[in-house]
Structure 1
């Protein structure tokens, strides 16, 4: 028995019990029972549950029909749980999924936007050529995190931490030096390889001329 069926069954039993108690009390009092029908509110509630059960049955029928016609064969999620489904109802799940899929910026709750920006901040800083711009970006990020914490606009809480400007500049400098050192090492290796190739070609030309 489904949850909707169980609720309807309990509702019917409760309504019949209350109705029987009301009729019995009126008969003991020697008055004509005023109503022989169920309470209107209970009837409306039962109809709502019936409508919900009909919707579930209709959805299940559509799914069964689709399975028979094979429309789900190429669905990558066939037989798998929905991604990012933690069992909690989130009415905005489709908006968040759309923003993530389309890589839209400036949309959605500040908590989600800041979390995504925080994860990509190092790469963004590494693309900057100078410290002044790095400081400006980090300071702007911190200001927006603090402002988002102050606003009470609903949505998930802002858990993103602010960044220490001096620490981030030092980290940017270290990554930059490591990247430049790696590039110099790669250039030196390429130079050695090019020199070896030139020597090989000269030797080959001399060998052929003999």
Structure 2
């Protein structure tokens, strides 16, 4: 049986299952003779995962692991996950236009998932109000900048006082001052120190 019909000849119709099987077998035999299957990865090795797994989708999960494919999930799950970290995501942006663009894209994906009539879990993720989210982004951004500005202004504390209390002289020239004494200028004595005498 020839694969290619001659120019004047019409292609042969494959009406029966036997005819189709014959064409497939001949194509496979020719490919084996050409050596098309000689350098395939895993040649001569048993297939892993055939036994000991009750998961019917083991092969697609294994393929996804081997190919490094991730993020393939129904839109409802992806949007729910994206919605959970949306504030952190937009906080990484430095310009308001980037925040607005991202929120517009997020809302478009939510609307598209809601309108999708294919099978899958329902989408409960609501679209975000762009103006409200931008105001919240500005507020969080201003809090971060004021915190960093105040941290730059305040001197760093080293955990140890700059002058120990035993090295500080009294202001009246007498013996060394103890924390809480009148002329010491140090911190007031703690309430539990009064009971230690």
Q: TM-score, normalised by structure 2?
A: 0.45
> Per chain length, whose mean CA-contact separation is higher, i.e. which structure has more relative contact order (CA < 8 Å, sep 6+)?
1
Q: TM-score, normalised by structure 1?
A: 0.42
Instruction: Name which one, 1 or 2, has greater alpha-carbon Rg.
Output: 2
Bigger helix fraction: 1
